[in-house]
Amino acid sequence: MNTPIELARRLATKAQRIVFFTGAGMSADSGVPTFRDALTGLWAQYDPLQLATPQAFARDPKLVWDFYEYRRDIVRNCAPNAGHRAIAALEGNGREVTVITQNVDGYHQLAGSREVLCLHGNIMEDRCHHGCPGVFPATKPEDPNAPVPPVCATCGRRTVRPNVVWFGETLDEAVLERARAAVENCGLIVVIGTSGVVYPAAGLADTALGLGKRFIEINPEPSQWSREADVSLRGRASEILPQILTTTE
Ligand code: OAD
């Protein structure tokens, strides 16, 4: 009897090149709020256009900075879950595994995944708001009277900003190109915990379907891909991923 879980497990076992395309639902079981979930989602409580755009930061840099500090504290106090670990464990046995994530929490890397493409940046990093090269770990200033946002250590004149993509900003084209190549070369894509409403990221799953890639979806809710997916698993990433990945040879 082929249950959906058994079918998904078989697809995962057979595939040599697997892409995991993840969204906020991947970290929901770690305790990190998603964006659009009705009750717990960030965007249900706050207006993203007031907090996650270059205009919002120009208008009120301290408000936006404090919002990201609030989210950073959540990320610092939570941890990768069994789903992140199941994906990372797969890399050990000669498969080509690429994680393409919309998440900015760095949990895939913390869990041990090595090939992680962060489409929307990393909330635990800062960069100069006016373009000094490089990014650096986001740290809490020692001095309680330090300016908020902090001043860039490189130029000493301008403020820093979180190293994330805001609404209205473009993604890093090189990262997106690598993500597209990974989707084109994979045998299987596993789409986990995303509402699929933000492009160009969600376009990667559309591309996989268009290329006829084997397609597994993991989400408690249906999505625009559910009907065409080979397997659409209704459930939580931290529970389902260990069931379909850790038993593979
Ligand atoms: P959303 O909050 O839009 O969607 C979260 C998805 O996760 C929903 O489809 C939920 O049903 C699902 N979900 C909830 N709990 C889950 C669980 N335990 N296991 C699996 N799935 C679960 O988050 P994203 O789709 O990631 O953009 O949002 C995409 C982008 O919109 C984000 O990257 C962010 C946001 O604006 C930027 O930061 C640029």
- Fill in the amino acid letter for 6: E
User: Looking at the annotation, which residues are catalytic?
Assistant: 120
3-state SS class at 146: coil
C-alpha 113 to ligand 1 mean position (Å)? 20
State how far the Cα of 223 lies from the Cα of 195, in Å rounded to an integer: 7
Q: Is the pTM of this model over 0.85?
A: yes
Q: Give the chain's length.
A: 249
Query: Separation of 202 CA from ligand 1 center, angstroms?
Result: 11
Query: Ligand 1 atom closest to Cα of 23?
Result: 26
Question: pLDDT tens, position by position, for the chain (249 residues)?
Answer: 689 999 999 999 999 999 999 999 999 999 999 999 887 888 888 888 889 999 999 999 999 999 999 999 999 999 999 999 999 999 867 789 999 999 999 999 999 999 999 999 999 999 999 889 999 999 887 888 989 999 998 898 889 999 999 999 999 999 999 999 999 999 999 999 999 999 999 999 999 999 999 999 999 999 999 999 999 999 999 999 999 998 644
Show Cβ contacts of residue 155 under 8 Å, excluding neighbours closer than 6 positions.
128, 130, 132
CA-wise closest residue to 214 among 2, 22, 18, 4: 18
Nearest residue by C-alpha to atom 19 in ligand 1: 236
Ligand 1 centre and the CA of 77: distance in Å? 20
Q: What is the C-alpha to C-alpha distance for residues 242 and 164, in angstroms, rounded to an integer?
A: 29
Q: Ligand 1: residues whose CB is within 6 Å?
A: 23-25, 28-29, 34-37, 41, 102, 120, 165, 192-195, 197-198, 218-221, 236-237
Atom nearest to 29 CA in ligand 1: 18
Q: For residue 61, give Cα distances in angstroms to 25, 53, 56, 64.
A: 28, 11, 7, 5
